[in-house]
Amino acid sequence: MNLADAHVSVLLSEAVDALAIRADGFYVDGTFGRGGHSRAVLQRLGPQGRLIAFDRDPLAIAAGQGVGDARLTLVHSAFSALDDELARLGVQAVDGVLLDLGVSSPQLDDAARGMSFRFDAPLDMRMDTSRGQTVAEWLAEASVGQITEVIREYGEERFAHAIAKAIANARAGGAVATTGQLAALVEKAVRTREPGQHPATRTFQALRIFINQELEELSRVLPVCVSRLRPGGRLAVISFHSLEDRIVKRFMRDESRPPVLPRRLPVRAADLPAPRLQLVGKAMRPSEAEVAANPRARSAVLRVAERTEAP
């Protein structure tokens, strides 16, 4: 295994424990990565158990081919295709879904992917390198307003407009085509820095999230997960930044409460439809030991909910 293939799954035992795996159950790993969580699930499944693992990254799917377990089905697709893929496979319901969000270490550490300012490489950032627009291609045609909106919304960057103008001015002399070019532009445009953080961190995060439609994919798949879970089935989601976690937290909260009706509507609380989810425990974070061993785990949050009997 080379450096680009190295990946340490965050909250590994906590996430797999949270699924409360049944030996003969059917489970979904929405983000195979390099298979850490998937392998742990397979270890707990019996001969009749089954796991379907999704990933947009062709290299992740290629790595999964080496698992060599007939109980594992790999799908080269974003997890937002969960409903269609389960239908294609003839699966009506599952016992658990795990979503490990964000970007994997192999994607960050492979310079050719263009996701990190640590390397000077083509400005790509796509999780699925077989399709879609690269960041460089988008920056070449986007307006200052569009760039500002993306960096502000997905990166929560207060210097978004200054960065967007710097990009627009620079591309007048040629395309902003590499990570090094972009990082240098951002570094000049960001007037103050957060301690210990490169000034381009928020911009790179924003552009990656945007080009891969990460938040939209998450918002689409969460309702599908609930509709596909059997009663008693678990949904476990690991988030790595506040934008992801906010979506997950609000979704699980709303699905675990009865619907809100107009105040004067003559409906008794006992007659309200039962919620489809029940929260399981509190949000979990990595231990100090895990963060010390894997600093990229420091921002991770695991939230878990269980499907109720409600239709």
Query: Which residues does the annotation place in the binding site for S-adenosyl-L-methionine?
Result: 35-37, 55, 79, 100, 107
266, with CB counted inside 10 A (0-12, 13-18, 19+), is exposed
Using alpha carbons only, give the angle 284, 299, 275 rounded to the nearest 5 degrees.
Answer: 45
Residue 34 in tokens: 């390099």
Residues annotated as binding site? 35-37, 55, 79, 100, 107
CA dist 250 and 244 (Å) reads 10
CA dist 247 and 251 (Å) reads 6
234: three-class secondary structure by DSSP? strand
CA dist 127 and 124 (Å) reads 9
Looking up tokens 């785990």, which residue turns up? 297
- Using alpha carbons, list the distances in angstroms from residue 147 to 137, 180, 206, 207: 13, 18, 10, 9
CA dist 170 and 261 (Å) reads 53
Residue 88 in tokens: 């294609």
193: three-class secondary structure by DSSP? coil
240: three-class secondary structure by DSSP? coil
Tally Cβ neighbours within 10 Å of residue 58.
Answer: 14
CA dist 106 and 282 (Å) reads 30
Q: By the 8 A CB rule, do 127 and 135 touch?
A: no
26 Cα distance to chain centroid: 21
